[in-house]
Amino acid sequence: MTLKAIIFDVDGTLADTEDGHRESFNKAFAESGLDWNWDVALYDKLLKVTGGKERIKYFVETCQPDFTKPADYDGFVKDLHAVKTRHYNTMLREGHILLRPGITQLIGAARQRGIRLAIATTTSPENVATLLQQGFGADSERIFEVIGCGDIVPHKKPAPDIYFWVLEKMGLPAADCIALEDSENGLRSSLAAGIKTFITPNHYTRNQDFAGAAAVLSDLNDLPERLFR
Ligand code: XBP
Ligand code: MG
């Protein structure tokens, strides 16, 4: 295989974001007068569903049987999620969420070798933009040539749609790329798109099923050597 591109997941992979997302959901619920609270144990279960709006709906279906849905339920969820996104971006801008160790080195090593870089994530575009701005500063616009995110495709991970979208934009076959993911949903998505995938788990995903991954790495320190030797 001649490696031409690395496609990065964002949440849990570029940065340990999920507790920041969780706290932002809780702030949005409080601000909206809802007595909902997602603790770590509950959030662990809710992470089964990717995408914030989809996760709110899954929570309502499974944990709030008595909740009376407003007439415009989709609009309600969209507005609630927009409040969550505002809080999450504030957390990012305040520097509460940092890039995972090894990410900057991996990206630097890849760029030196002319490897193309892209992003495939379910999270919202503004979240990606702010995280990249915080993590890479002025360089952030130039690092990732294609950013696939949010509602740009009909089906979020574990569906392969977002990876297919990124491959098409890059004009590359799956065989020329690798993906870097942290979760089983992410792995199912990238594998279904035919992309060799490395996993770097975190505290939410460490017990998930990573069958089919090229390797499961406890940290990213060895990855440049593995990929570029
Ligand atoms: C990450 C997610 C995201 C975030 C919330 O999945 O599931 O939904 O938790 O993001 P992955 P939004 O890392 O597999 O892409 O609230 O912006 O949807
Ligand atoms: Mg992830």
Question: What does pLDDT average to in each consecutive run of 10 residues of the chain (229 residues)?
Answer: 94 96 98 97 96 97 96 98 98 95 95 96 95 91 92 96 98 98 98 98 96 95 87
pLDDT of residue 176: 97
Q: What is the pLDDT of residue 229?
A: 78
Which residue has its alpha carbon closest to ligand 1 atom 13? 11
The answer to whether the beta carbons of residues 148 and 183 sit under 8 Å apart is no
- Atom of ligand 1 at shortest range from CA of 12: 13
Tell me which of 23, 40, 45, 50 to substitute to probe ligand 1's pocket, judged by most ligand atoms within 8 Å of the beta carbon: 50
- The C-alpha atoms of residue 39 and residue 63 are separated, in whole angstroms, by 13
140 φ/ψ sector (left φ>0, alpha ψ -120 to 50, else beta): alpha
Question: What is the pLDDT, as a whole number, of residue 193?
Answer: 98
Q: Is 200 in the pocket of ligand 1 (CB under 6 A)?
A: no
194 CB-near residues (< 8 Å, 6+ apart): 174, 175
The CA distances from residue 112 to 49, 108, 224, in Å, are 36, 6, 11
Instruction: Give residue 139's pLDDT.
Output: 84
With beta carbons less than 8 A apart as the criterion, state whether 222 and 186 touch: no
pLDDT reported for residue 117: 98
Any ligand 1 atom below 6 A from CB of 123: yes
Rounded to whole angstroms, how far apart are CA atoms 26 and 9? Answer: 24
Residue 76 in contact with residue 70, Cβ under 8 Å? Answer: yes
What pLDDT does residue 104 have? 94
Q: Whose CA is nearest to atom 5 of ligand 1?
A: 52
Neighbours of ion ligand 2 (CB under 5 A): 9, 11-12, 182-183, 186
